[in-house]
Amino acid sequence: MACNPKRAIGRLLMHVTLLAVAVVMIAPLLWMLITSVKSPLEAYDFPPSFIPALKTYVEHGGELHQADFLSLRGGTAEVRVLAGRHKGLRLSVPEETLIRKRFIWRNYADAWRAAPFARYFVNTIVMAGLTTIGQVITSALAAYAFARMRFRGKEVIFIILLGTMMVPKQVLLIPNYIFLSRLGWINTYYALIVPWIAAVFGIYFMRQHFETIPQDLFDAAAIDGCSRFRALFNIAIPLSKGVIVMTALFTFIMTWNSLLWPLIVTNSPEMRPLQVGLAYFSQESSTEWTLLMAASTFTIAPLLVLFFIAQRRIIEGFARSGLKG
């Protein structure tokens, strides 16, 4: 079959465009990863280096410092510290103790010890996990009611719910804060989780999918004496695995990355989730770009792993879900 030149050129332009967009989106992530393993001095190099150069380091005061090699006499090297608190300090050390490396992996350990990130991770996992479970349950129940049940004012109620998506969340911050304050929930897990266990987007997303499931399946189940709850859990949910996984994934990511609301309702380091803790850490270590990039890297690492795992499951769920009438 002869190749159509216009079609080939069109496909080439499409792939070039997609490649350019991919590079633009991936470049900041790669730059963050590279900066996280650089030395503090190299992070300020201009023009910047995409791959760290081979540097000389010396151990002093329990810390690793980038050093400039000056001279070598009888196995003793004289070096000068180039950055940090001991900048300009001259040291005489045995030649074998000098370290030459490109990547400073200990930046991750230093960043982890610089703030209580373990506690931040625990708070974030609890907040994101319970919020995701709550939204999936409430969205499935409400979506099934709007898609398969008949009751007065159903369409009006659904339109009103959709209308609430147009209200900016910032408008609700003060009323929600006052309400939770009167309940005594400020600086607790209740304030981080309870206001977000139901979401209109999840209800709308699942409702649209539930309506694509053939009604014959529910009619046959009703003839066999199947209750509505049983029809939901035995018919609708098994045929909607892809949609449920997508709803859970979006909810988990948005909750994991939430900053404004947790910043308002938490006032102690013990209750801070990850993004709030990272914001405070960035203020305290604003000049330590390597530590800040290292902290940012292990902050988003769980999301990247989760996304790649869930991406495969989403594709499988859509391939196996639903039936064509």
Cα distance between residue 41 and residue 46, in whole Å? 11
* Overall average pLDDT of the 19-26 stretch: 88
| Identity of the amino acid at 143 | A
Entry pTM: 0.79
C-alpha angle 165-301-283 in degrees, rounded to nearest 5: 80
Domains 43-111 and 115-320 share a fold: no
User: What's the pLDDT at 320?
Assistant: 47
User: What's the pLDDT at 192?
Assistant: 93
Q: Give residue 233's Cα distance to chain centre.
A: 30
Class of domain 115-320: mainly alpha
User: What's the pLDDT at 85?
Assistant: 66
Tens digit of each residue's pLDDT (9 = 90 or more) over 170-187: 888 889 999 999 999 999
Q: Domain spans of the chain?
A: 5-36, 43-111, 115-320
Cα distance between residue 270 and residue 292, in whole Å? 20
Terminal CA-CA length for the chain: 36
Domain spanning 43-111 has what CATH number? 2.30.30
Pairing of strands 90-94, 63-73: unpaired
Query: Would you list the DSSP string of 102-115?
Result: S--THHHHHHHHHT
Tens digit of each residue's pLDDT (9 = 90 or more) over 248-299: 988 999 999 998 999 999 988 889 999 999 888 888 766 678 888 899 998 9
Cα distance between residue 267 and residue 221, in whole Å? 52
